[in-house]
A and B are shown apart, each in its own frame.
Chain A
Amino acid sequence: MNNILAGSVIEEENCLTFVELCAASNASEEHVISWVIEGALEPVGDTPEDWQFPGHALRRTRLAMSFACHLEINPPGVALALDLLDQIAVLKARLRRTGCHSFAGHR
């Protein structure tokens, strides 16, 4: 019988280091640095050794990795795609808030 595992919650506050983010997303350091330079990821800290990423950066980085590997999109393209997805998410959230959730999908 398996034991019940308790994990640690990845909070929204800055909690992932550069190394942790690379490992968790299977992204290379070069990839992550290029996405930071393009503004697709916004860590706190001046150098990669100091960088701290918020929890939602994990999902963004995995998306970015998917764009780069499967669609061969370059870093500026990745930043643009993530920016557009952010805008769609904001609009969907606005629809959900106002009650037009049939157009926005459930979460």
Chain B
Amino acid sequence: MSQDADAELHFKEIGEANAVLKDPEKRAAYDLVGDAGQEFQPPPEWGGGFDFGDSGGNSDFIESLFRRHVDRRGQDQHAKVEIALEEAYSGVERSITLRVPAIDEQTGRVEMQERVLNVRIPCGMHAGQHLRLTGQGAPGKGKGAAGDLYLEIAFHAHAQFRTEARDVFMDLPLAPWEAVLGCTQPVDLPEGSVNITIPAGSVAGRQLRLKGRGIPGQPPGDLYAVLSIVLPQAVSEAEIQAYRTMAQAFISFNPRSPMKGNLL
């Protein structure tokens, strides 16, 4: 009998601790409760799944768990910030709104309040990279220092560019004669325009590297123009005749020859 009672008490304690630790708001609320003796009053909407009310009461286990370390560093927190690729080249300032738990001075209850931070995102950051804002995380308990805030950088989807770390990739469509004969094309990059020289005899899929024109950094990334060849539609008689002339000129060309006899 006594063993069953102990087991029930132990089970209850574990359940309480788990409920608090798994819920960031409840955990933050406990973190915010100050010196020992200060009462924690959760808002009424917190009832789901765990009773913070007076009648049931929490065991001393939770209180001892959180009051044992009076001075405790605040938790590190995380948020994601989306910027444009172009802003990674120049750096940008962002206003970030965070929802953080805070004690209402009038009611003594913990409420989620909005906190606005103006952050300078330096140039050269790429998607997936983190920016650490020291002391901007959750407040510490007692004399404990505040935690840090980590901002993960993400890029808005871009119609023209895609990235891999600091390298930037873009498609560069060419007409068949531009690829065969070579040409110089003006191309808009995230940081301005450049003229790209396409060597004669280029083929689809070839990548032209513009060294150091990717996202800035030490070292900077590269920008790759991935060539593709677009066939013009033949509509007019002159255009159709041009294809006929090509067919005569390339009479021995078989585009299926790499298939080693699978066709024809």
Contact = CB atoms under 8 A, between A and B. Distances in A.
Nearest to A25: B76
Interface residues of A, number: 29
B80 to A, nearest CB: 11
Interface string B112-124: 0000111110101
A6 B130 contact: no
Interface string A40-77: 00000000000000011011001000000100000000
A62 B76 CA distance: 12
Interface of B: 22, 73, 75-76, 78, 93, 116-120, 122, 124-125, 127-134, 136, 147-152, 154-155, 157-158, 162-165, 169, 171, 205, 207, 224, 226, 228
Given A56-B128, A106-B157, A107-B155, A6 B120 contact: yes
Chain B CB count within 10 A is highest, among A96, A101, A107, for A107
Interface stretch (A7-15, A29-37, A78-86): A7-15
Nearest to B133: A7
A99 B228 contact: yes
Interface of A: 2-10, 12, 23-26, 55-56, 58-59, 62, 69, 93, 96-99, 101, 104, 106-107
Contacts of A69: 22
Interface centre among A7, A8, A69 (most CB of B within 10 A): A7
**Best-buried of A8, A9, A59, A93 by chain B (most CB within 10 Å):** A9
Contacts of B22: 69
A107 B205 contact: no
A97 B148 contact: no
B155 A58 contact: no
Contact of A99 (B116, B122, B171): B171
Given A6-B122, A97-B164, A107 B127 contact: yes
Nearest to B207: A97
Contact of B118 (A2, A25, A93): A2
B120 A93 contact: no
A75 B124 CA distance: 34
Given A7-B120, A9-B130, 18 more contacts: A4-B93, A9-B125, A9-B129, A10-B130, A24-B76, A24-B148, A24-B150, A26-B75, A58-B130, A58-B150, A59-B130, A97-B207, A99-B169, A99-B226, A101-B162, A104-B162, A107-B128, A107-B163
